[in-house]
Structure 1
């Protein structure tokens, strides 16, 4: 029997390609059981993981109790359908970290897919936590950013993305992000309610 997680955990990672979002998110997962949503077919996501490219492969891997699964069903099913299939499976099996890598390429802003929406709002009851990265924060659904408990943002220059982040958090964020150097990120926590510069 799963014990409900009292506090939700939704960590977001923003930044351009090559800034290190995926590496940072992986380092935060550690040894926990995880499904890694690999729409870009990155080698780093396959390390110590079972690669699954079809719906039945994913179910079999979860049935076997595989601790780390690299999900690559996007070419077979299409981005949104593959995203939702893995979310449906995660909802059934529970007790996983879900790395939604480049989630802005998998999840439409509206309507938010049913299982993704449930995981965002109630996934803690199945001990599901989210780590989601995006190159274009403005293309993420607002209920995902609104649920964030921690945010890591590398350099961003797109005006639309900067306006979106400033609207979600702080007005001065738009001025601070473009000035960051490579490897620097602004980190926001729900508890502190403020951004702090860190180097990764």
Structure 2
């Protein structure tokens, strides 16, 4: 007797690969890591050092999870989106990685000053709580993490240091209060 063939339906076969992870989360992770490495070493951050650090933070890290064939391709993508800047490194194929100097940061500080001014009104102050939502209404893709800050408070403190806003603790509000800095 001949073996009987079972008709196979044209169903999509399951794929073993994990879905591509969130590239926005990747941008934030890389920016924070570069900022941390720049702060702790005070010097250059090479692509190889950055990757070793990412692997130390998360041993399962792989650029292929984000849809990139190589770590260099991932860095070039992030550089094209102004998350990092690449420069020639000490070895061929190992570029120096840094955060964009001022452009994006200054723009974000200006946005914060503008939103604080609009919400606070003349002579008023704005509580830190809920301010990030106000900022996102004005600029939906805002993320302090893409600028290398771990928290919104850290971003606001940097903006205050740069003179974009004033930041003080308001004991009555039990929150930080921001006021626009006179331009």
- Please indicate, yes or no, whether the TM-score normalized by the shorter chain is above 0.5: no
Bigger Rg over Cα: 2
Larger strand share, 1 or 2: 1
TM-score interval for Structure 1 and Structure 2 normalised by the shorter chain: under 0.3
Instruction: Report the TM-score, using the length of structure 2 for normalisation.
Output: 0.25
Larger helix share, 1 or 2: 2
Instruction: Report the TM-score, using the length of structure 1 for normalisation.
Output: 0.24
